[in-house]
Amino acid sequence: MSFAKNVHKYYKYVLGVIVAIMALSLVISGNVTPNARNAERTVATIYGTFAVTQKEWSEALARAEAYYRWKAVDEIDHSTDYNDVAFREYLFKAPYGEGNGLLATHEMFRPSTQDKNACAKELIILGFDARAKSIRVTEEEVKDHISALLRRGRVPSGDVEKEEEFTKVYFLAMPDVFQDTVREALMIDKALMLDVSGSNVRYEDVFRKRLADSRSIRVLTAGIDSEKLPVDIVPVTDDEVRAEFDRRRETFKLPEKAQLEYLMADFEEFKTKRIKDPTPEEIQKYYEEHKREFTTGNARREEPAPGRDSEPQEIKYRPLDEVREEIVKKIKDGEASRQAYRLISQISSKDYADAEYKALQEEKGREPKDEKAVRDRVLGRTAAIFAAIRDKYRGQNIELSNGITLPFDTKSQDAVEKAIGKATSQEYVAWAFGNPVGQVANLIYRSDKGVALIRIANKIEGYAPDLTGPVREKIRADLVLERAKGRAKALAEQLVRKIQENGSSEVAKLEARGDVQIQWSGYINAKTADNETGLKPSQLSQKVKDQFLSGSKPADPDPNAKPNRTEAAAISGHDVGATWDSWSYVLVVEDAVQVPPDPNDAEFLRDVQAREADEVYKSRGARAAQLVASAEWKDSTVTKSEE
């Protein structure tokens, strides 16, 4: 069954919902929503004179969440930003294991009330603009667009239930609403494209970037260790120490700490109490399907190595009886992981979500009713919700581990790992220190011990100590080191100036110095791996590329011409890495080779096209924002006066 048929399945249901909606009231900036009698009442105006009816607002608001999610997908799909490209793969697929993609689970894709209102207004205003331009979208275009999204979500073609689940989970809408939203979005997109004349990508910018990428250089580096330079004969005074302490008081502040409460489905608990040993048939089946896991220690290749004439040799496998216990453990470990994840996913999306929603509705009926006060009271009830969930499942003979971790900070999470295992992702750390006490995580905590739902149980504010003896001596040592680093930096800059002025004669003098560490690289281009340049530390290679191979720097108009001034630069070891913070470096280009790119090369043209597409998308976004702002949306005062 096609997606369109799926929509038809809900046609009668939707008619009933529309009737119900028109019997309710719609809040728009504090105003009441329409019923059957006042559906045509004006609730707002755009462009000063055009009326927006309550019916139009209701329809736009019903599509707002789907439109919000659609725009997010569209933005990421068109972006050339590295992070967006990496993010794109997981929009409809969990980053790890089972579960939904980030579009359904990540906090950034959860529209707020303000987001939904803004999207509804955008649908009305930009839809008005598109219709004024007589823009049309065919059913085939809508169908193709939705089919592409369904394929990304790995939804089997014609599976009505899976299609409905997909639109509800990823676009927060029933299939018919989602189809209408896509139709409107594509129409708006076409209209915006008419207003965008082209991109601002300059051919020469792409040429310059690729020209820089084609450049290869051989460099000399001279490392200056500040700790081996002559000692400063002027001592650091107590007044300097006190002034530095006052200036850096926040850096001596003991870090903020947090504690997490957890409800965890423990793997060992599941394996011992809830999962039966596999049957002989299951063991045999696993052995046959995973034989390569049980090769003998001296396993041979099935095929000869390249260039060898020897005959293929048979791989030998350990017998089933020898690996039976190992297989039993593998099967039970896998089943424990799957059952634990399913249980905690259900608790997160059903038990906790329902309880939090109920608490929210109850608190909205109490004073004070402002949004912050209501939210704070709900957060204050999350501990009780955790306890209720734990007791509920205990009554079903399912024991969830429940406790509170010892305090931890952003630099060390040993306390968390000791309690609930080492997480497969460290996202929870930023979440814990970026949200209030009582907040429950949307992302599920997965570790080597189990799967858990976590909440922020407590925060301990950091504080700054006084200028005690150990702190005083630490500051004194830091000031001595800073002076030494300053001398190393000054020496590096002085050497660079001389090399730029006098060229090879100064380079020869630099090589003869006994107080610097000299090394040479091989030929490096922008794509050379840092560990293949011949430079140590390897991080120094990236700084060389940034300095001399950056596409933002103007290219030599004649790549084969020798520059009049030797290319040289001084950099701080701090930029290389914390380990080399006390060092400074002199970088000198001893030779450079550059080959201009072929403008007719397919890769070059793809690069230009990708940048143009990105720029066009940004221009469309800017045009949409301009249209929304120029529409001068104004809420009607009639609604309130008629209540």
Q: Which stretches of 153-252 are DSSP H helices? A: 160-171, 175-195, 203-214, 238-247
pLDDT tens digit string along 356-394? 999 999 999 999 999 999 999 999 999 999 999 999 999
User: Mean pLDDT, to the nearest integer, of 139-162?
Assistant: 90
Place of tokens 């409800």: 263
Stronger pLDDT, 180 or 623, i.e. the higher one:
180
Is the distance from CB of 542 to CB of 251 less than 8 angstroms?
no
Burial of 72 (0-12, 13-18, 19+ CB in 10 A): middle
- Would you place residue 13 in the very low, low, confident or very high pLDDT band (cuts 50, 70, 90)? very low
Q: Residues 20-59: pLDDT tens digits?
A: 333 333 333 434 344 555 678 888 898 888 889 999 999 9
Query: What distances in angstroms separate CA 325 from CA 339, 420, 448, one per listed residue?
Result: 21, 26, 20
What CA–CA distance (Å, rounded) separates 571 from 574? 8
The highest-confidence range among 230-234, 295-299, 302-306, by mean pLDDT, is 230-234
Q: Contacts by 138-144 with C-beta closer than 8 Å and gap 24+?
A: 139/4, 141/186, 142/179, 142/182, 142/183, 142/186, 143/2, 143/3, 143/4
**SS3 readout for 472-509:** HHHHHHHHHHHHHHHHHHHHHHHHHHHHHHHCHHHHHH
In this structure, what are the phi and psi dihedrals at residue 272, rounded to the nearest 5 degrees?
-85, -30
Higher pLDDT, 574 or 613: 574
- Which one is predicted more confidently, 602 or 226? 226
In tens, the pLDDT along 459-516 reads: 998 877 777 778 888 888 888 888 888 889 999 999 999 999 999 999 999 999 988 9
Least confident piece of the model among 80-89, 126-135, 257-266, 310-319: 310-319
- Domain ranges within the chain, ordered by starting residue: 3-199+619-642, 216-252+467-593, 257-272+337-460
Cβ–Cβ contacts within 10 Å for residue 188, how many?
Answer: 25
Q: What is the pLDDT of residue 49?
A: 86
Is the pLDDT confidence value at 554 over 60?
no
Percentage of residues in the chain having pLDDT higher than 90: 44
Q: List the beta bridge partners of residue 587.
A: 221, 569
In the structure encoding, which two tokens stand for residue 151, read together? 């394929």
Q: Say yes or no to pLDDT of 196 above 50.
A: yes
Q: What is the mean pLDDT of residues 331-347?
A: 92
pLDDT at 556: 46
What integer pLDDT is reported at residue 47 of this predicted model? 87
Mean pLDDT confidence for 572-593: 90
pTM of the model: 0.42
Give the least confident one: 243-257, 329-343, 562-576, 609-623. Answer: 609-623
The confidence score (pLDDT) of residue 202 equals 53
CA separation for the pair 388, 381 (Å, rounded): 11
Highest mean pLDDT of the ranges 171-175, 524-528, 560-564, 594-598 = 171-175
Please give the pLDDT value at position 365.
93
Q: Mean pLDDT across the stretch 167-195?
A: 91
Quote the pLDDT of residue 179.
93
- The confidence score (pLDDT) of residue 250 equals 74
Q: Can you tell me the mean pLDDT for 278-289?
A: 90
C-alpha torsion 286→288→291→296, nearest 10:
110
CA 497 vs CA 264, 549, 553, 570: distances in Å: 62, 20, 20, 9
Query: Please, which pLDDT band fits residue 245 given cuts at 50, 70 and 90?
Result: confident
- Is the per-residue pLDDT at 109 higher than 60? yes
How much is the mean pLDDT over the chain?
82
pLDDT value of residue 601? 64
Q: What are phi and psi of 116, to 5 degrees?
A: -65, -40
- Kindly tell me if the per-residue pLDDT of 237 is higher than 60: yes
